[in-house]
């Protein structure tokens, strides 16, 4: 039996000429975990909103076709009624929590249904235990981290045990640890409770291992609906931007079938004799070629004290008024033209470091020096765009240089995520040349194609002599643009070195290619990884 049936659905938002969804047919069976993917603005969010009844009841617009969610036709039943059958979770954790405490938040949907107090209390306890948030029940929601908030919002979506949960990029605002934990939780709910899950996600390598099916959307239509491995075959032929790094690695090396998980990839490589069998060889860390992936604080004296510095933090502390230290005597020097990825979990001090470098905040102790202006692009590019037209934000010459002349007459709010970010970056770079350019989490909610373009742009910026510092959770982006990775933990530098050293041997802070190859050869990206595999294949057959 299907918990979601979508038949010939076409939907257009109000005041928009192009439909967001065109003739979509889709079904989700009981207990299935279906991943929805596609480039930005391909219709993923709209499809999920149609499943929860927000389209068309909340957003308005024109709709044709039919959506039936667990027996309720969304043309006849609004989101309030469908809420009991379909839980929904969106991207931004902050706007998904409406009550003051976790207990009240979990109770809210049950109370809305008019459940008696005993049933509400039981539902709250069960949801809290299932999601591992029982210890948070009496905590105020405003004190929770992004990962905790997202778990609480998931708990609220699950309270009352709906047959289907629709999740719209729930990990996009989370660090890799919290993101992986959330996907793991979804998998457990799917396997143990039998809850059907419809999950829209950009980072497919994170959720394909758990998926039963993958639905790829392209400009509002279903371009592929297949099992993960078949989807990856399709992506290799039709939409390379949707390929996972593991699938790219296999495709370039001429290996088949494309792997849906690191485990699958390693098993295939082992079967081909391209990876040492368990116990035959040393650990992945030992396989790193340079052998110097040591977690040392090299910082200020890393490259000799006389080298010019674009930005330098010297034993910098930053303490919040309530006493919590965000940075603890951090020392770091970045040279002109250097490309640095700042990594670490949420709260490690990455954003604070960038704010200090750009002069938005002053260190409470220690010193921060810069060789010139430090341009900073904060997490939300939309905050820079306050005028009615793009042409009012920047002079024409700057728009031309940023490749945005064609949108000069549009409202900044109507730009795509990638265009908005390019415009905001062009705004902070306008004026005097910057000694350093800092970006804070620039890839949130960004598809793989846009990430590639951003990495190329960052390399170009560094080639002009500016130091580039990017705070990111995205190991693939770090591998694509950085020549140095600094790993922060609790406001201190815990590792500082070449990307191959830092991202090659980690668990969380590692690229998928590195995890598949066990960090061998310091390879982080699919192309050099495929070269390595081809060399191994040659060695295998040569004798």
By CB under 8 A, tell whether 408 contacts other proteins: no
Antiparallel, parallel or unpaired: β 164-168 and 196-200: parallel
By CB under 8 A, tell whether 24 contacts other proteins: no
Q: Give yes or no for a cis peptide into 56 (omega within 30° of 0).
A: yes
By CB under 8 A, tell whether 472 contacts other proteins: no
Q: How many residues bind other proteins (CB under 8 A)?
A: 62
**Least distance from C-beta 199 to other proteins, angstroms?**
16
The site string for other proteins over 47-86 (x = CB under 8 A, - otherwise) reads -----xxx--xx-------------------xxxx-xx-x
Tokens of 332: 């770091």
DSSP string, 76-87: TS-HHHHTTTEE
Residue closer to other proteins, measured from CB, 54 or 510: 54
* Cα separations in angstroms, 492 against 315, 343, 436, 522: 10, 11, 21, 25
By CB under 8 A, tell whether 112 contacts other proteins: yes
By CB under 8 A, tell whether 414 contacts other proteins: no
**Least distance from C-beta 417 to other proteins, angstroms?**
15
Work out which of 60, 71, 132, 140 binds other proteins, going by CB under 8 A.
140
Work out which of 38, 43, 109, 336 binds other proteins, going by CB under 8 A.
109
> SS3 breakdown of the chain: % helix, strand, coil, rounded to 5?
40, 20, 35
End-to-end CA distance of the chain: 56
Tokens of 441: 């989490």
**Least distance from C-beta 519 to other proteins, angstroms?**
37
Work out which of 192, 432, 541, 543 binds other proteins, going by CB under 8 A.
432
Burial of 126 (0-12, 13-18, 19+ CB in 10 A): middle
Q: What is the CA radius of gyration of the chain?
A: 24
Residue closer to other proteins, measured from CB, 304 or 413: 413
Q: Taking CA 72 as the corner, what is the angle to CA 69 and CA 75, rounded to the nearest 5 degrees? A: 95
By CB under 8 A, tell whether 88 contacts other proteins: yes
Contact criterion met (CB below 8 Å) for 422 and 460:
no
Residue closer to other proteins, measured from CB, 92 or 531: 92
The site string for other proteins over 351-390 (x = CB under 8 A, - otherwise) reads ----x--x-x------------x-xxxx-x--xxxxxx--
Tokens of 210: 């758990």
d(CA 492, CA 470): 17
Distance of alpha carbon 391 from the chain centroid: 30
**Least distance from C-beta 291 to other proteins, angstroms?**
41
Segment 148-207, which members bind other proteins (CB under 8 A)? 153, 156-157
Segment 89-108, which members bind other proteins (CB under 8 A)? 90, 92, 94-101, 104, 108
**Least distance from C-beta 504 to other proteins, angstroms?**
34
DSSP string, 371-393: SS-EEEE-S-GGGG--SSSHHHH
Question: Which range touches other proteins (CB under 8 A), out of 36-44, 110-118, 183-191, 247-255?
Answer: 110-118
By CB under 8 A, tell whether 347 contacts other proteins: no
> Which region holds residue 97: left if phi is over 0, alpha if psi is between -120 and 50, else beta?
beta
Q: Give yes or no for a cis peptide into 257 (omega within 30° of 0).
A: yes
Residues that bind other proteins (CB under 8 A): 52-54, 57-58, 78-81, 83-84, 86-88, 90, 92, 94-101, 104, 108-109, 111-114, 116-117, 138, 140, 142-143, 153, 156-157, 355, 358, 360, 373, 375-378, 380, 383-388, 394, 413, 427-428, 430-432
């Amino acid at each position: 039996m299907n918990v979601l049936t979508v038949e010939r659905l076409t939907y257009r938002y109000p005041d928009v000429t192009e439909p967001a969804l065109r003739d979509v047919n889709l079904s989700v069976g009981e207990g299935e975990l279906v991943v929805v993917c596609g480039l930005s603005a391909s219709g993923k969010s709209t499809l999920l909103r149609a499943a929860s009844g927000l389209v068309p009841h909340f957003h308005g617009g024109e709709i044709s076709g039919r959506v039936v969610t667990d027996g309720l036709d969304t043309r006849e039943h609004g989101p309030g009624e469908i809420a009991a059958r379909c839980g929904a979770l969106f991207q931004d954790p902050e706007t998904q929590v409406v009550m003051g405490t976790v207990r009240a938040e979990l109770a809210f949907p049950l109370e809305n249904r008019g459940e008696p107090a005993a049933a509400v209390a039981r539902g709250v306890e069960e949801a809290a235990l299932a999601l591992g948030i029982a210890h948070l029940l009496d905590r105020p929601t405003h004190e929770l981290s992004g990962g905790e908030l997202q778990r609480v919002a998931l708990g609220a979506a699950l309270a009352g045990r709906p047959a289907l949960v629709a999740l719209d990029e729930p990990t996009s605002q989370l660090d890799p640890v919290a993101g992986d934990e959330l996907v793991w939780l979804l998998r457990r709910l799917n396997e143990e409770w039998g809850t059907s899950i419809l999950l829209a996600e950009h980072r497919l390598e994170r959720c394909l291992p758990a998926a039963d099916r993958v639905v790829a959307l392209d400009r509002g239509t279903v371009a592929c609906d297949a099992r993960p491995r078949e989807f990856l075959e399709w992506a290799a032929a039709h939409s390379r931007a949707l390929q996972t790094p593991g699938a790219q690695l296999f495709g370039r090396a001429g290996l088949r079938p494309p792997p849906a998980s690191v485990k699958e990839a390693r098993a295939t490589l082992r079967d081909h004799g391209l990876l040492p069998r368990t116990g035959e060889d040393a650990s992945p860390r030992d396989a790193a070629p340079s052998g110097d992936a040591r977690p040392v604080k090299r910082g200020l004296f890393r490259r000799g004290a006389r080298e010019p510095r674009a930005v330098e933090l010297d034993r910098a502390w930053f303490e919040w008024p309530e006493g919590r230290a965000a940075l603890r005597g951090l020392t770091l020097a970045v040279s002109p033209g250097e490309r640095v990825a700042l990594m670490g979990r949420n709260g490690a001090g990455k954003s604070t470091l960038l704010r200090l470098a750009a002069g938005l905040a002053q260190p409470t102790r220690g010193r921060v020096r810069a060789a010139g202006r430090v341009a900073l692009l904060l997490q939300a590019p939309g905050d820079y765009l306050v005028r009615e037209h793009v042409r009012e934000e920047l002079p024409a010459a700057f728009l031309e240089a940023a490749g945005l002349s064609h949108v000069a007459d549009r409202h900044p709010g109507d730009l795509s995520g990638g265009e908005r970010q390019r415009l905001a970056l062009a705004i902070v770079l306008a004026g005097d040349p910057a000694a350093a350019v800092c970006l804070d989490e620039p890839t949130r909610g960004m598809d793989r194609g846009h990430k590639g373009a951003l990495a190329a742009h960052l390399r170009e910026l560094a080639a002009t002599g500016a130091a580039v510092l990017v705070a990111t959770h995205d190991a693939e982006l770090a591998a694509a643009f950085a020549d140095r990775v600094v790993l922060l933990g609790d406001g201190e530098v815990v590792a500082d070195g070449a990307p191959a050293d830092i991202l090659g041997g980690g668990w969380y802070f590692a690229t998928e290619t590195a995890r598949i190859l066990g960090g061998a050869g310091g390879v982080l990206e699919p192309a050099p990884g495929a070269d390595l595999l081809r060399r191994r294949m040659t060695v295998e057959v040569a004798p």
